[in-house]
Amino acid sequence: MPELTYREAVRRAMVEEMRRDDRVFLMGEEVGHYQGAYKVSQGMLEEFGEDRVVDTPISENGFAGVGVGAAMCGLKPIIEFMTWNFSLVAIDQIINSAAKMLYMSGGQFNIPCVFRGPNGAGGLLGAQHSQALESYYVHCPGLIVLAPATPHDACGLLKTAIRGNNPVIFMESEVLYNTSGTVPDQEYTIPIGKADVKRQGSDFTIVTWSRALHYVLEALPLLEKAGFNPEIVDLRSLRPLDEASVYESVKKTNRVMIVEESWPQASMGSHLSDLIARHCFDYLDAPVARVHQADTPMPYAANLEKLSLPDAHKILQAAEELMA
């Protein structure tokens, strides 16, 4: 299989779906003539034209609302936020319109709309541009929330999301755009709501997603050197959540660690901790361990940003405490 970067995998998914279905279009800030703030949409304006690759004003609430309206009228918009931090300006459209429209219309209006862009810490971007916001959207019924960690998963999941009939929150990571991975030549999709066991193990389960998977993979040599044999479960889909795969792994290993990039309070990790405690209580030999960002706004300084985020040594320390 050839290797693609994460950005190339996302672009491939959009291009293939736009070729397949002329109802699909891309809209957002700088997606056209500038070819994307992170060059994810490079070459798409040339192929599809300004009717289907639409540059917008700096007005997230406005173009998110246009996307919802277009979806109500039978189109399939892909709405790109330059960063998910900017989605906070449009959260009314996402939560009160996109997520609730099918319910409030009595089933009359599906919203086949994908909202996508980079999530989490971006690297020296400061507190207002380095937030992992998945828990904001996982909280809301009516939304699908996806957070793929690899080019393979990003391409397959994005194609599935575009083909669906529901509003999807598709969270990429800015720092993953240059990472590479194998992607099949042939067209493929990945089902939503299915986790992937990236590594089989026996000592404890690590549950993670998005960029946090890469923290775990960086920690793996240290864990193995310390004599630990972890099982790694990449959720990929946060809502719906593959609870069965998590429980199966925890019941096998009897210990679990959750690694995430977001804050600890009311996060996806705290929700998982609750689920595991209630459904796997009799199988647990230790409390659920958690590794996450420090409970503080993201510092701008490089050394403080690094201290704030999860890393291999924090994961190793949590493993040592988990297995003590």
User: What CATH number did the domain enclosing 128 receive?
Assistant: 3.40.50.970
Tokens of 206: 């690590």
Has residue 149 been placed in a domain?
yes
CATH number of the domain residue 311 falls in: 3.40.50.920
**Using one digit for the tens of pLDDT, what is the confidence trace for 233-263?**
999 999 999 999 999 999 999 999 999 999 9
* Distance separating alpha carbons of residues 63 and 259, to the nearest angstrom: 34
Which residues are annotated as catalytic?
Answer: 60, 129
Tell which of 157, 182, 207 closes a domain. Answer: 182
Q: What is the mean pLDDT of residues 27-56?
A: 97
The pLDDT mean for the chain works out to 97
Q: What is the mean pLDDT of residues 89-105?
A: 97
Structure confidence at residue 81 (pLDDT): 98
SS3 58: coil
Structure confidence at residue 57 (pLDDT): 97
Q: Clarify whether residues 317 and 252 are in a common domain.
A: yes
What is the chain's Cα-based Rg?
A: 19
285 and 255 in contact (C-beta within 8 Å)?
Answer: yes
Confidence of residue 99 (pLDDT cuts 50, 70, 90): very high
Global pTM value? 0.97
* Distance separating alpha carbons of residues 103 and 247, to the nearest angstrom: 31
Looking at the chain, the whole-number percentage of residues with pLDDT higher than 90 is: 98
Range of the domain at 136: 3-182
Q: Clarify whether residues 52 and 106 are in a common domain.
A: yes
Q: Clarify whether residues 166 and 87 are in a common domain.
A: yes
Has residue 33 been placed in a domain?
yes
Of the candidates 181, 189, 179, the residue with the CA atom closest to the CA atom of residue 155: 189
Q: Clarify whether residues 115 and 19 are in a common domain.
A: yes
Structure confidence at residue 122 (pLDDT): 84
Structure confidence at residue 123 (pLDDT): 86
Tell which of 122, 155, 182 closes a domain. Answer: 182
